Amino acid sequence: MKNDFFLEVFRKIGLNFYRAFYGKKVKKGFWYVPYEPSAFVEQLEKVKENFSGEVVPSFLDVGCGVGLTLLLAWQVGFKPYGIEIVPELVKLAKLFTYSLGGWVKRRDALKFKDYDKFDVIYFYCPIKDMKLENRLERLIEDKMRVGAFLIANCKQNNCIEKDNRFKKIYENNRGDAVWIKVKG
Ligand SMILES: C[S@@+](CC[C@H](N)C(=O)[O-])C[C@H]1O[C@@H](n2cnc3c(N)ncnc32)[C@H](O)[C@@H]1O
């Protein structure tokens, strides 16, 4: 599945769309930086190994930006969902993910109530304010359901390492880990 050349081209297309259409208009205080696609695909594949072939698990990107991760998740065999706070990015993400079977919605991740509805939750440090980012990470860990997976990139709150509700199933060479919630 991995082909770094095409994945990088894909990432550049997403970034260029964002910069060309919205880059300067997006409010200060929010950032859109896509995670490295090949490292992300590796994480998705590790999670997918835990589901049988016919199952299409749901995947939520918290702060999905223009939706590149949603396309990759769909390609690996997930049903992709995204929430994003910046309206311009929501528009682009809807365009990029049109017809993949999931949805993209404008939502503040700190107020989102449905973290318990997804098989896989992913984030790449969405919030710049580290106090709020910490709060978001704890919220997701508390609300996600038992048996769900968490792909936590550039994670700020390390309490999960000692939290017996979670078991680490994979860590890449950037120190970004994938977890399963084993207890409520
Ligand atoms: C570092 S980018 C990650 C983009 C994408 N998830 C990826 O991994 O390629 C963080 C994204 O989170 C969004 N964001 C920031 N605060 C948010 C909030 N409170 N609720 C939802 N999205 C938020 C930003 O606008 C930005 O698009």
Task: Name the percent of the chain lying above pLDDT 90.
Answer: 77
Q: Is ligand 1 within 6 A of the CB of residue 127?
A: yes
Is residue 7 predicted with pLDDT exceeding 90? no
Model confidence, pTM: 0.95
Residue closest via CA to ligand 1's atom 16 equals 127
- At 29 the pLDDT is 64
Q: How confident is the model at residue 69 (pLDDT cuts 50, 70, 90)?
A: very high
Domain regions of the chain by residue span:
4-181
The CATH architecture annotation of domain 4-181 reads 3-Layer(aba) Sandwich (3.40)
- What contacts 121, CB < 8 A, 6 or more positions away? 60, 62, 115, 140, 144, 148, 149, 150, 151
Q: Is ligand 1 within 6 A of the CB of residue 133?
A: no
Q: How confident is the model at residue 27 (pLDDT cuts 50, 70, 90)?
A: low
Residue closest via CA to ligand 1's atom 10 equals 126
**Burial call 37-50: b when 16+ CB within 10 Å, e when fewer:** bbbbbebbebbbee
Distance 138 CA to ligand 1 centre (A): 17
β-sheet bridge partners, residue 181: 166
Q: Is ligand 1 within 6 A of the CB of residue 23?
A: no
- At 99 the pLDDT is 92
Distance 134 CA to ligand 1 centre (A): 14
